[in-house]
Structure formats: C-alpha cells, structure tokens
Amino acid sequence: MSSLQNRVAIVTGGALGIGGATSRRLAAEGAKVLIADYVMEAAKENAARIVGSGGEARAMHVDVSKAEDLEVMVKEAVDVFGGLHILVNNAWGAKESDGTAETITESAWEYGMNAMVRAHFRAMKHAVPHMRKAGGGAVVNIASVHGQLMAERRLVYETAKSAVIGMTRQMACDFGKDGIRVNVICPGHIVTERGEANWAQRPDLHKLFVEQYPVRRTGIPDDIANTIRFLVSDEATFITGQAIAVDGGLTIQLQENMGIAQAIYGRDHPEIDYGHWE
C-alpha cells in the first residue's frame, strides 16, 4: 500500500514549480489532492497529468490573498474527498515586493502580508477542525532561506518568510496535542519551469549561482516535493515545529569565505552578465 493511501491533501500553488511537483508526489503515494491555484489552465493540466497516471486530483481556482477563497478551498476538499489530512501552504505572491521600508507602498505591504502570511493562518483556521476530526494531520509551510538570512531591498519577502517560520513553530505548540504536526521548509534556489527558461538564456549567471552551493547545483522542485512527502508521512511522526533548510548546503557556509570565493569566480569569469543584480 502506498504511504499516503486514503489521505486527502491540499496543495496551494499546486499547479507549477514546487507546488506542481508536490501535488504529483503526494498523489503518487496515494493521496487525493486538491490543487489550489489561481492559474487554472496549469492547475487543470497538472490534475489531468495526475489522473492520467492513476492518481486522484482536482483543480480549483484559489487566490490565497482572499480569506473567502481559503475557506471555500478547505470546504471543497472535505466535500469532494471526504476529509482533510495534509495541508501544504506553498502559494505566495507579492506586488512591488522589492524595496525598503522607505520605498515599499502600503498596498504592496498589505498584499504581501495577505498572500504570504495571513494565507497560512487562514488556511490553518479552516483546516484544523477537519484534521482534528480525522485524528490528526500534517502541515508543511514553505518559507525560504530568505526567512533565515536577509537580502537588501526585499523587505516584504524577507519579513513574510521570517514570519512563516515563527508561525510554524507556534502552531506546532498549539496543535501537537491534536495529533497535528506543523513544519516549515526553507528552500534554496529552486529552478522551476519559469526559472529553467530564464537560466537557459543566461547560463553564465546560473553557473555563478551554482558555485555558491556546496553540492554544486541549484535545486529542482522534486527536491522539495520529496522532503514534503517525508514530512507528511508516518515516517515523520516525531518531527514538528522544525524549519528545515533544503538548500544544498547554502546556509551552512561562513559568509566571509563564500564572498571571497564569489569574488574570485567573478574575476576569473568576466563574461558574466549580472543583469538587475548590479
């Protein structure tokens, strides 16, 4: 029997990238998956791909920045599949997310907090009663290495991802007694479908990124999906409240040394086009 047989999962942002790979991975293990995304064409295509492989999946239009969408999302999963056991809060979005406290607009701040912080809280609010009724469940939030280490001019994203890590730990304390585990993954640079197309046009700059990782590669969506599969399974029943970096070793390095190594690499490769990082 597959490890997630007869369990119901919601994956927000489940059409493409990390969410797309996660939807397929959970379905391959027997879970019934609700793919919640605002890109409906891609969501339907991923659901069809899962069904074509013998799994169960349903696509649903969801804008995670809207409270009412998240309430209806949970209801849909329960009504269609009969319960809820797994929630993967993966979707994110930000408008005008680059900037400082001086330059970010109020509307950009509010949208970012809605899509990347309040969305997790709201999804949990509606999911917990159904997980409790089912005898327990597992939640995986997706943060980022940007929630552990900060970058300049990224106020909205860095704040939101830091908040997701703190929220995860607090919720793990609240709901552990109900058999509900809550963990958070902090991915490094993951090359999604869009990223793959971008890097194909700039292989020199991608190589610079690769050199920052001890494993000498950037990540792929399956790297995160495989970790999620483990965290929501019975193999991980004693793991909760943890922020797990799936980052090829990026964050374990002494920054001074990595900075010098990058400077040397840049000196030896003058052909690199740094684009908007300059």
**Domain ranges across the chain:** 8-192+217-251
CB-based contact 236:181 (threshold 8 Å): yes
- Give the residue carrying structure tokens 């609240």: 174
Q: What residues pair up with 183 in beta bridges, in sequence order?
A: 140
**The model's pTM:** 0.94
Identify the pLDDT of residue 195. 86
Evaluate the CA torsion angle 255, 260, 261, 265 in order and state its sign: positive
- Give the pair of three-digit tokens for residue 70: 């998240």
Cβ burial, residue 225 (10 Å; 0-12/13-18/19+): buried
Q: Give the count of beta carbons closer than 10 Å to the beta carbon of residue 79.
A: 9
Cβ burial, residue 207 (10 Å; 0-12/13-18/19+): middle
Identify the pLDDT of residue 94. 60
What are phi and psi for residue 12, nearest 5 degrees?
A: -80, 145
Identify the pLDDT of residue 95. 62
Identify the pLDDT of residue 272. 83
Between CA 16 and CA 1 the distance in angstroms is 27
- List CB contacts of 209: < 8 A, sequence separation 6 or more: 189, 218
Between CA 181 and CA 277 the distance in angstroms is 38
Between CA 56 and CA 60 the distance in angstroms is 14
- List CB contacts of 106: < 8 A, sequence separation 6 or more: none
3-class secondary structure, 234:
helix
Q: ∠ CA 24-190-70 to the nearest 5 degrees?
A: 55
Q: What is the DSSP secondary structure assignment for residue 51, as one 8-state letter?
A: H
Identify the pLDDT of residue 263. 84
Q: Domain 8-192+217-251 belongs to what topology?
A: Rossmann fold (3.40.50)
Q: Give the count of beta carbons closer than 10 Å to the beta carbon of residue 212.
A: 20
- From first to last of its 278 residues, the chain has per-residue pLDDT tens of 578 999 999 999 999 999 999 999 999 999 999 999 999 999 999 999 999 999 999 999 999 999 999 999 999 999 999 999 999 999 987 666 689 999 999 999 999 999 999 999 999 999 999 999 999 999 999 999 999 999 999 999 999 999 999 999 999 999 999 999 999 999 999 999 988 888 888 888 899 889 999 999 999 999 999 999 999 999 999 999 999 999 999 999 998 888 888 888 888 888 888 776 65
Identify the pLDDT of residue 256. 83
Identify the pLDDT of residue 40. 97
Q: Which residue stretches of the chain are H helix?
A: 17-28, 40-52, 67-81, 106-113, 119-133, 155-175, 193-201, 203-210, 221-231, 255-268
Question: Catalytic residue positions?
Answer: 157
Helical axes 67-81 vs 119-133, angle rounded to 10°:
30
